[in-house]
Structure 1
């Protein structure tokens, strides 16, 4: 595959420091019917941080990676860096949203949070449905976080970490209940590790051997395990990730096809066209035209 490294064209929103408390890794905002969405959130974008939103009530809709979510009462939405999001319109919102950085997850004593199902998200979920009892627990923990955020001082970081750990752990239990499946075996963990590396490097690394080297394995062993666990060859995972990104850019942006090809690392636009048609059955231009007609 002829590929070049590139920078993604979709805007990536950086984490905004909480100026009131001076907190560089965590923010929380409650809304009681306000229009809390900034204009740039109404355009396709990614974030370089984790965003969690508890919806008590909101008659709105947003999209995550091409899927629409309607915001039923007592719902909870979670997203991590690189996921593509867009809000359709600003509508009155009752609930709370909070955000934290990847750096926070690397800090002690919060490092174990990285292993929680809500953070790992092995099922690529985005929405949790909360019972009224669940909603009350979540609201209580959010209120404690909000109160502590307003009290800078010696103990603030420890208490914020404690409350956030409790909240993310509680939500992870709900995640496990709503996204069912057995605990992964060693082979399944290797598959997930390969998929995570593909997610991180799919633009510049285009050979299975490159990923095998990162995982300190032979390409043959990695391919064998990935095929056995997923039912499809390791190279197909890479191709599927490229197709997903291409679909995102074709659907969400007005970028010329040549620019999309370059952004995905293809040195030749005609090769990108052939690759996309081979993988999807339609050319990039046909896909863009058909999907926009569908959602008009």
Structure 2
């Protein structure tokens, strides 16, 4: 693998793009998933780690469970997982990963293509469920990309790389359309009340944990908010707020060396003991134990 894993401030290793494993050293790879494939010979993939490149996995078998940014996703045959640079993730030691995996180094595509394909839209869902026509189009584009990637004899390197960029762009445009459509569908299904609540929580979770305060802010009753959130997510507004707070706390514990008390303050708990109690109630481990598990 090109480069060495970097130990992050929070103890999580970051692995660079394995350019030495690419055919002709180009900034992408595409091939079959399997137990023999890894980012790095020393990387236990069932441990939490980061990568500084894009990964797209198209599954032929399943279910497969995969953690991205502390959320567990379950992928089935025909599903795709899109992991973006810097996201924390972990492979499942009990799942068999079968299908096709695409990796891409940041900077391999021109800026216009990056913007058109939404490569850094971290708000888009990582797990995608294409319908049959969409899946056929994605498979066709990915198969073509793989043929071009493996064909090293018919073109000089400069043209080979240019063709790869065009083929990769075609696949990513299809993928980005699917991701954006899935995101828009989720927003419509959630309804405007929940969408407004979700956006308000995203802006205010670090200081506001009160369901009633959010209802007042949105100009609706607490009962209306409860119905909207339950219809969209199956959970209560309080549970939704708590999950967002816990996610941010986990990120700070993982990414930084902030003392536990400072992490608590950052997510709305001036008292360290109250933060530790809250965190343990929702995760069954203390903040210090959670951080230690990642190191």
Q: TM-score range by the shorter chain?
A: 0.5 to 0.7
Instruction: Name the TM-score, length of structure 2 as normaliser.
Output: 0.63
Q: Which residue of 2 aligns with 1:104?
A: 108
The aligned counterpart of 2:91 is 87
Which of 269, 276, 288 is matched with 1:278 structurally?
A: 269
Paired residues for 1:28-177 under 5 Å? 28-31=30-33, 34-36=34-36, 38=38, 40-89=44-93, 91-105=95-109, 110-121=110-121, 123-152=123-152, 153-154=155-156, 155-177=159-181
CA change 1:286–1:232 in 2 (3 A) is: closer
Cα deviation code 1:117-169 (max 9, x no counterpart)? 54132534111101222222212211111111122342211111111111111
Aligned equivalent of 1:216 = none
2:237 pairs with 1:246: no
Q: Deviations over 1:240-288 (max 9, x none)?
A: 99974531465xx7xxxxxx8xx34x4x654444444528994246514
Contact 1:36 1:93 survives alignment (8 Å): no
Contact 1:18 1:27 (8 Å CA) reproduced: no
Question: Do the aligned residues in 2 keep the contact of 1:42 with 1:88 (CA within 8 Å)?
Answer: yes
Counterpart position of 2:224: none
Moved more, 70-79 or 135-144: 135-144
Shift of 1:23: 2.1
1:22 is aligned to 24
Stretches of structure 2 lacking an aligned partner (at least 5 in a row): 1-7, 186-198, 209-240, 286-295
TM-superposed CA distance for 1:8, in Å, is 3.5
DSSP 3-state at the match of 1:180: helix
Aligned equivalent of 2:220: none
- 2:12 aligned residue: 10
Counterpart contact for 2:49–2:88, Cα < 8 Å: yes
CA distance in 2, matches of 1:67, 1:29: 26
Alignment partner, residue 217 of structure 2: none
Q: What residue number does 2:184 align with?
A: 180
Do the aligned residues in 1 keep the contact of 2:79 with 2:130 (CA within 8 Å)? yes
Q: Are residues 271 and 53 of structure 1, via their aligned partners in 2, closer, same or farther at CA, if it must alter by over 3 Å?
A: closer
Cα 1:130–1:103 shift into 2, 3 Å: same
- Contact conserved, 2:82 with 2:126, CA < 8 A, in 1? yes
| 1:242/1:121 CA distance change after superposition, 3 Å | same
Q: SS of the counterpart of 1:120? A: coil
Moved over 6 A (4+): 232-243
Distance 1:232 1:64, change over 3 A: closer
> For structure 1, which segment, 136-145 or 233-242, has the greater mean C-alpha deviation from structure 2 after superposition?
233-242
